[in-house]
Structure 1
Amino acid sequence: MADRRTVDELSLEELEELLIIKRREARMWRLRQLAAQGRVVHTSSSSLAQTSASHSDPGYTRPTGKRFSAVPLKPLDAAVRPSPSGMNRGQRLRDRILLGVEILALAGLLFVFFSAYETLRTLNQEVITARAAEREMLVPTPTPLVHFERLPGGHTPPNQLGGTTPDVPLHLQQWVQPAPPQPLPTPSVGKPTRIVIPAIGVDAPIVEGVTWEDLKKGVGHLPGSAHPGQRGNMYLAAHNDIFGEIFRDLDKLELGDEFFVYSGSHQFRYKVTAKRVIEPTDVSVMLPSTKPIATLQTCYPYLVDSHRLVVIGELVE
């Protein structure tokens, strides 16, 4: 009759015996599985039973000596077993493909850098050419002054001494003396033409306009903004990484540094009073001012150009 008691109703000895029985059954199941696979030595059922019975005895001691003999394993089928040469060929092919991809990636990266370098060099060369042409246009060609006392081809022939007789008699010359030259009016201060920043070694021409073509020629002056020395905001802009890199080191200016703006031969000195980095959309720095100031603007950071660097100086004299 089957024992229907629960686990809680069993004694400790009965639980140990039950555990031994469970282990023996599991071990017998594994042995049958291995025997079905041909991986153990076949023994008689009586031997298995005797072995199982001996293991179930609590006082059982594992016998010494060799119990099982070695069983040779069957080799894998030739069609299933991978060929070493095939593995080597596949691995070599994969390595070659990866090497080719790396070489192509490196070549593409070098091409990008080379193209960027060539573009930058071309732009700088255009700036140099444009500046040279601008300087040639700004430098006037001296015209020799011709001092004629009278026009050539007069009606009085030379005298015997080789001289000439004046067209106006001597007693009338006092009435026909030429009028003294009138002084030319001093021109008023006009647009800026040159900027010098000693602290960062800048000496560049200033052109009217801030378009792409304008900034190829030098520092651009915003049309409509103040002129040098005037009350208002004189707005000047230049590139930092192309077209001569005029304002490349503008961020190195410190408060108190001076720069000079020229209008022709007139010089105006400004002192740096503020420096800040702003967004490209912040156009408040272009607004007029009640003070005579100069605003210098360039892209920032170098070769990134995601923001704008603004340096503001006030007129000193």
Structure 2
Amino acid sequence: SDIDVSQTEDWSSPRRKFQIGSITSRALWLLEITAVVGLIYLGYDLWQAREVINKEVKEVISADVYPTLSPTPIIKALVLPGGHVPPTDPGGTRPNDSEIPENLRPLVQALPAVIIPTPSARQATRIVIPAIQVDAPIVQGDGWEQLRRGVGQHIGTASPGQNGNLVLSAHNDIFGEIFKNLDMLLPGDTVTISTMGEQFTYVIKGTEIVEPTEVSVMDPTTTPSLTLISCYPYLIDNKRIVVFGELQKS
């Protein structure tokens, strides 16, 4: 049963080398074909995506409407805006830093100044509340300096008429006492917010007295909403009065 070496296949023979080379060439050819097909498919997929985007843009432009944006504040407030020491304090009125939890004060002091948005046609410019004789300008931002000049819109909250929570603050016993009589508003009273070219009317739904740290009242909403905030009570200023409204249905 000796093995006949002469019958063993010679792997180094030219014929065998040709067969191996042929198999390798076919495998490489199949890989190249697969890669080309993959590139063609990817290119077609990208082309389709581009066409869809272009179609959506054309539809928005032709309809002359703009998508509703959902503003997001850069950082969540730690206390509600408008806090200050009462004007009857021996040291005079000033921001009430004691409202900020002590362990968070270093964080607040280290925060950069809030960037005020550049003016736009959608920004609120004026507020009128007939029931309490309010007619005042609206400025962007609700810090100490902004509230010297009128009613301040909390940065990042909704524009008038848009889905979301439009948050406005003003003082009750300093800087014109603009929101002195918020506690006199009743459900059904109206608030008109103007922009550069439009007016939006909100209807009052209710009022709450909350702690200065109850920042959840400024949370975004899914419908066009209005939140008015001021210190409370008059000349004591250790709470906040919060008035809620909804956009009047046409």
TM-score (norm 1): 0.41
1:280 aligns with 2:220: no
Q: How big is the shift at 1:265?
A: 3.1
Are residue 220 (structure 1) and residue 120 (structure 2) matched?
Answer: no
Among 230, 233, 250, the residue aligned to 1:298: 230
> 1 CA distance for matches of 2:152 and 2:220?
17
Hey, what does 1:257 align to over in structure 2?
189
Once the two structures are superposed, the pairs formed by residues 1-317 of structure 1 within 5 Å of their partners are: 119=92, 189-316=121-248, 317=250
Q: 1:219 to 1:115 in 2, by over 3 A?
A: closer
Deviations 1:59-86 (A, max 9, x none): xxxxxxxxxxxxxxxxxxxxxxxxxxxx
- 1:31 counterpart residue number: none
- Unaligned ranges ≥5, structure 2: 1-86, 94-119
* Percent identity over paired residues: 53
For residue 251 of structure 1, give the secondary structure of its aligned residue in structure 2.
helix
Note the alpha carbon deviations across 1:117-162, whole angstroms, 9 max, x for none.
Answer: 9957xxxxxxxxxxxxxxxxxxxxxxxxxxxxxxxxxxxxxxxxxx
CA contact (8 A) 2:171 2:230 kept: yes
Given the superposition, is the C-alpha separation of residues 117 and 262 from structure 1 closer, same or farther in structure 2, using an over 3 Å criterion? farther
Distance across 1 between alignment mates of 2:89 and 2:242: 27
Contact 2:88-2:235 within 8 A present in 1 as well: no
Count of aligned pairs between the two proteins: 138
**Contact 1:260/1:269 (8 A) holds in 2:** yes
Distance 2:187 2:142 in 1: 26
> Does the residue aligned with 2:145 lie in a helix, a strand or coil?
helix
1:116 CA displacement: 5.5
Q: CA deviation at 1:115?
A: 7.7
The amino acid across from 1:202 in the alignment is: V
Offset from partner CA, 1:26-48 (integer Å, 9 cap, x none)? xxxxxxxxxxxxxxxxxxxxxxx
Secondary structure at 1:259 match in 2 = strand
Q: TM-score, normalised by structure 2?
A: 0.52
The change in CA–CA distance for 1:304 and 1:257 in structure 2 (over 3 A counts) is same
Q: Please identify runs of 4+ aligned residues in structure 1 that moved more than 2 A.
A: 114-120
Aligned pair in 2 of structure 1 residues 189, 231: CA closer, same or farther (>3 Å)? farther
Deviation at 1:222, TM superposition (A): 0.6
Q: How far, CA to CA, are the matches of 1:211 and 1:238 in structure 2? A: 10
Q: Equivalents in 2 of 1:283, 1:117: separation in Å?
A: 29
**How far 1:274 sits from its partner (Å)?**
1.6
- For structure 1, list consecutive stretches of 5 or more residues without a partner in the other structure: 1-113, 121-187
Contact 1:296-1:312 at 8 Å conserved across structures: yes
Higher relative CO (CA 8 A, sep ≥ 6), structure 1 or 2? 2
**Alpha-carbon shift at residue 264 of structure 1 (Å):** 1.4
RMSD across aligned positions (CA): 2.2
Q: Identify the structure with the greater strand proportion.
A: 2
The alignment partner of 2:217 has SS state of: helix
| Rounded Cα–Cα distance in structure 2 between residues aligned with 1:271 and 1:217 | 25
CA contact (8 A) 1:189 1:228 kept: no
Residue identity in the other structure for 2:158: A
CA displacement 1:3-61 (0-9 Å, x = unmatched)? xxxxxxxxxxxxxxxxxxxxxxxxxxxxxxxxxxxxxxxxxxxxxxxxxxxxxxxxxxx
- Larger-Rg structure: 1
Q: What is the SS of the residue equivalent to 2:168?
A: strand
Report the Cα distance in structure 1 between the residues aligned to 2:130 and 2:88, rounded to whole angstroms: 34
* SS of residue in 1 equivalent to 2:131: helix
Distance 1:265 1:279, change over 3 A: same
The structure carrying a bigger helix percent of its residues is: 1
- 1 CA distance for matches of 2:247 and 2:229? 17
